[in-house]
A and B are shown apart, each in its own frame.
Chain A
């Protein structure tokens, strides 16, 4: 059974700092890994999807890395802004998505 863990559970940084969010998974036989953003009480917005053959994926200020052998992915958000405040979830699929509990980010103006 795939177990997904996210550390830290919460993070508060001043505006402009870079954010580093960690995700670990127990079963390295994955097709891909996704990072999602969730605003309070809302649905999920897909940010990045990294295929198992990739090591990195970038979208604007977001960069996600994947190391299958160590069962880890990291989401980097450069030059954080107050609008980046949200919960960030990673998920690993087989026929379903297995989610971590998320990291709640607060960017202080």
Chain B
């Protein structure tokens, strides 16, 4: 059984650029959530996708957008990057569209915005 994978591992961008981060969910999981973790803080929920539809969004501006594909993999896109977007971006997948289930996290993508 393949776990949650994310790519790339590290990324360096400059302010104003756009970035796409990718996540492959664990086999059999149809729900993907994205989190942003700034240094020294806990992860903050960005949004969740369930069967290719956005299913909840945290307090993030519209320049944070996402997609989920028929194979349940997902992308996080961030436009007009700002310095404060520098963080570890975590993807988590789960079997059901319910909080009671265990979410499995990927290793994260470290984004640095200069």
**Within the complex, which residue of B41, B45, B97, B110 is in contact with A97, where a contact is CB–CB below 8 Å?**
B45
Judged by a CB distance under 8 angstroms, whether A42 is at the interface is: yes
Q: Does A96 lie within 8 Å of B56, measured CB to CB?
A: yes
- Assembled-state Cα–Cα distance A101/B42 (Å): 4
Query: Which residues B42-78 have CB closer than 8 A to chain A?
Result: 42-45, 48, 55-56, 58
Q: In whole Å, how far is B10's beta carbon from the nearest beta carbon of chain A?
A: 9
Mostly helix, strand, loop or mixed at chain A's interface?
Answer: strand
- Assembled-state Cα–Cα distance A94/B110 (Å): 26
**Within the complex, which residue of B40, B99, B103 is in contact with A31, where a contact is CB–CB below 8 Å?**
B99
Given A96-B56, A96-B58, A101-B41, are A46 and B104 neighbors across the interface (CB < 8 Å)? Answer: yes
Q: CB-CB contacts of A19-63 with B at 8 A, as 1s and 0s?
A: 000000000000110101000011111100101000000000000
Q: Does A43 lie within 8 Å of B42, measured CB to CB?
A: no
Q: Which residues of A contact B41 (CB under 8 A)?
A: 101-102
Q: Does B45 lie within 8 Å of A96, measured CB to CB?
A: yes
Q: In whole Å, how far is B93's beta carbon from the nearest beta carbon of chain A?
A: 12
Further 17 A-B residue pairs, CB within 8 A, beyond A6-B42, A44-B43, A95-B56: A41-B88, A41-B108, A42-B108, A46-B102, A46-B103, A46-B104, A51-B100, A89-B43, A91-B42, A95-B48, A95-B98, A95-B99, A97-B43, A97-B92, A99-B42, A101-B41, A101-B42
